[in-house]
Amino acid sequence: MWLIDRSQSSWKYPFALIWIGQAFSLFGSGLAGFAIIWWLTAATGSATVLATATLATLLPGILIGPLAGPLIDRWDRRAVIMVADLTGALGAAALAALFWIHALAVWHVYLVMALRSLAGAFHWPAMQASMSLMAPERHLARIGGLNQMLQGATNIAAPPLGALLIAIWPLHALMLIDVVTALIAVAGVGLVRFPRPPRTVHDSGGALTGVVTEMIAGLRYIGRWHGLMIVMAMAALINLLLTPAFSLLPILVTKHFGGGAIQLAWMNAANGAGIVLGGLMIGVWGGFRRRMHTVAVGLVGLGVSILVIGAAPATAFMPALAAVAMVGAMSPVVNAPVIAIVQSVVTPEMQGRVFTALGSVSMAMTPLGLLVAGPVADAFGVQVWYLLGGSVCLLMTLLALGIPAVRDLEDHPRDGEGNTVVRAENVLPR
């Protein structure tokens, strides 16, 4: 079994083992996700069914996220990641079996999607909270960029390959691919011994009371940290506007640009290609020494690109396509440094709670944004939503650079009690 020593170059080999396994799992999940959505579309042809499926995917993370954080900080994070991957594999195997015996119903799909989402509510924050203990701090932004690149590559490759496979293979075959890739990920994680952070547990009143107490302690930890609170609010606002904007992309393509399925496919591919390029750039470059400066550059690029999409006339499909690619490229430039900042300033024993809180707040904004986006687009045109989202991204740049608590967030790490930890480099003159 590999033991990660992040003080030496030996951390790279066990980390690569984990990353490759997770890459297989992510790709398998992408194929399975496409197959599930296609089956729902072909079997029902109902927009309500698809919307309900989206809700089934979102709600577990929103509702369970705050409670998952203290559990992740209590439990062995390696075990959490492995169980989460196995849960996803179990759900895929159940769908494969039901389809094989011709007993698959829509409510089965809802249940499995909710189960997989619940597993994801534990998997993502457990993995992110473990990153800061696996790799040296100077490499965290690069790792975030590589993760974003992997997500983009999956967005490019999984849908067309899924479309090809679903035409020649039955649904259960694609589900079994997801099972196999999840088991590969479990094997990769199982071969590595994860470093464990120090743990402070408050068990007064029983286990459940202790978990709730730790959840409240985590929320208080964030609430007392104004810079982190502002970053969370910024992420929530951006998610509130950008997620609905890109959910309206089919409307923009068909009603504004007069395109069809091929033009929408180009838009999706351009976004995925942009994510790959942006993730690769951050993975190689790592960003500026001041990570918040990298975030600011990404926000400017994101805002300008979205404004171009919103302002493009009906005859300017190609400039809009390029702008969509730039949106994809700027996403890792914003996301990877933000994750790296949180990993570097939040004490390891609190990171599970902080990451689940960030994820829950951001995801909670998506249903609200989707609820508002439709009426706004119907009343004022779909492009207005892009103009609003781009303007807000530029405003977030001013907040990131103009508010000292946000701009200097990475300079002031805090311990488990919320007290500022003075780093040696911070006491030297600049």
- Give backbone dihedrals phi and psi of 193, rounded to 5 degrees, phi first: -90, 115
Given a contact cutoff of 8 angstroms between Cβ atoms, the answer to whether 413 and 424 are in contact is no
Q: Which helix (H) or strand (E) holds 2?
A: strand 2-3
CA angle 418, 122, 24 (to 5 degrees): 125
Cα dihedral sign, 139-142-148-149: negative
Q: Which helix (H) or strand (E) holds 193?
A: strand 192-193
The neighbour count for residue 283, using CB atoms within 10 Å, is 21
Q: Which segment of 100-109, 265-274, 314-323, 361-370 scores lowest on mean pLDDT?
A: 361-370
Q: Residue 138 is part of which domain span?
A: 2-411
Q: Taking each helix axis from N to C terminus, what angle separates 317-345 and 106-134, rounded to the nearest 10 degrees? A: 60
3-class SS at 403?
coil
Structure tokens belonging to residue 239: 């998610």
* Residue 417 in domain: no
Q: Which residue has the tokens 């998506």?
A: 366
CA angle 356, 270, 243 (to 5 degrees): 35
Given a contact cutoff of 8 angstroms between Cβ atoms, the answer to whether 270 and 315 are in contact is no
* Residue 253 in domain: yes
* Residue 402 in domain: yes
Note the pLDDT of residue 367. Answer: 73
- Which residue would you say has higher pLDDT here, 201 or 161? 161
Given a contact cutoff of 8 angstroms between Cβ atoms, the answer to whether 95 and 36 are in contact is yes
Note the pLDDT of residue 95. Answer: 92
- Give backbone dihedrals phi and psi of 257, rounded to 5 degrees, phi first: -90, -10
pTM flag (> 0.75) = no
Note the pLDDT of residue 417. Answer: 62
The neighbour count for residue 109, using CB atoms within 10 Å, is 22
Q: Which of 317, 334, 336, 363 is nearest to 146 (CA)?
A: 336
Given a contact cutoff of 8 angstroms between Cβ atoms, the answer to whether 166 and 34 are in contact is yes
User: CB under 8 Å to 135, separation ≥6 — which residues?
Assistant: 6, 11, 15, 143
User: CB under 8 Å to 174, separation ≥6 — which residues?
Assistant: 31, 32, 35, 162, 165, 166
* Residue 418 in domain: no
* Residue 351 in domain: yes
Please count the structural domains in the chain: 1
* Residue 429 in domain: no
pLDDT tens-digit map of 87-140: 999 999 999 999 999 888 889 999 998 998 888 888 888 887 777 777 777 777
Structure tokens belonging to residue 33: 């996700």
- Which residue would you say has higher pLDDT here, 167 or 306? 306
Given a contact cutoff of 8 angstroms between Cβ atoms, the answer to whether 150 and 26 are in contact is yes
Distances (CA, A) of 306 to 40, 156, 212, 322, 325: 31, 20, 40, 11, 10
* Residue 372 in domain: yes
Is pLDDT of 208 > 60? no
Given a contact cutoff of 8 angstroms between Cβ atoms, the answer to whether 18 and 81 are in contact is no
User: CB under 8 Å to 343, separation ≥6 — which residues?
Assistant: 128, 129, 131, 132, 137, 140, 351
Which amino acid, one-letter code, is at 268? N
Residue 81, Cα to own-chain centre: how many angstroms?
Answer: 15
* Residue 128 in domain: yes
pLDDT tens-digit map of 64-91: 767 777 777 778 888 889 999 999 999 9
State the Cα–Cα distance between residues 4 and 50, nearest whole angstrom. Answer: 43
State the Cα–Cα distance between residues 309 and 322, nearest whole angstrom. Answer: 9
CATH number of domain containing 219? 1.20.1250.20
pLDDT tens-digit map of 309-350: 999 999 999 999 999 999 999 988 998 888 888 888 888 777
Q: Which segment of 109-118, 155-164, 231-240 scores lowest on mean pLDDT?
A: 155-164
State the Cα–Cα distance between residues 267 and 97, nearest whole angstrom. Answer: 35
